[in-house]
Amino acid sequence: MIKAIEGKLIKKEPTYAYIKCASGLTYGVHISLFTSAKLETGALLELFITQIIREDANLLYGFLDTEEQRIFELLIKLNGVGASTAMAVCSSLTPQAFMSAIISADDAAIKTVPGIGPKTARRIIAELSDAKLAIDSAPSYQQEALLALESLGFKREKVLKALSECEATDTGELVKQALKKLA
C-alpha cells in the first residue's frame, strides 16, 4: 500500500497532479483544490497518499495536510459517499470548517459542497456527529483545549459548540476564546 509519494511535480491540473519520482516512475494523483493551490510545477514535494484499489482501477489521492486526509478517509467510509464526493468536500471546506459543521450540525455548510443535497448532508452529520469521531479527527490543539475545558467542569456538548465558534490555532488562545464564549 502506498502511504506517501515524494518527487517533482511535472504537471498540474486543478484536481490532478503528475509526480515524477527519483526512480523514474510518474504517478497520477487526485488532489483537492486546497492542495492544488499550494503546489508549484517543478517543485519537489511529498504528498500523503490514500490508495483505493478497485476491480477496474488503482487510484491515488494525495494530501499535503494530514487533517485533510483524515476527513477524506472518514467520508469514504460512509455509506453512499464515494471518493469523488469526499474529494469535493475536501476541495470546498477546510478540515476545521468541516468539523465545525459536523459538531454544530450545520447542514447548510455541508450543502455548499457540489453534489451534496439536504438528505446527504443530514446523513453525513448524523453518522459523524458522534463526538468521539469529531474529536479524533480534530487537530491536537483542539483536542487539548477540549480536555482542558472539560477538566474545568464544562459539559462536553457546550465545549464542542464553543470550540467550533473559535478561530485560534494554538491551545492556550483556543481555551481563552472558548472560556469567553462559555461564560
pLDDT, tens only, 118-152: 999 999 988 887 544 455 556 778 888 888 888 88
Calculate what percentage of the chain has a pLDDT beyond 70. Answer: 95
pLDDT confidence of residue 132:
46
pLDDT confidence of residue 8:
97
Q: Where in the chain is the domain with CATH 2.40.50.140?
A: 4-63
CATH number of 4-63: 2.40.50.140
Higher pLDDT, 169 or 122: 122
pLDDT, tens only, 50-89: 999 999 999 999 999 999 999 999 899 888 899 999 999 9
SS3 label, residue 113: coil
Domain covering 139-182: architecture: Orthogonal Bundle (1.10)
- Dihedral sign from CA coordinates of 169, 170, 176, 179: positive
H helices within the chain, ranges in order? 33-38, 66-76, 83-92, 95-103, 107-111, 118-128, 131-136, 140-151, 156-164, 171-182
pLDDT band per the 50, 70, 90 thresholds, residue 21: very high
Superfamily of structural domain 66-135 = 5' to 3' exonuclease, C-terminal subdomain (1.10.150.20)
20 bridge partner residues: 8, 26
pLDDT confidence of residue 131:
46
pLDDT confidence of residue 5:
97
Q: Where in the chain is the domain with CATH 1.10.150.20?
A: 66-135
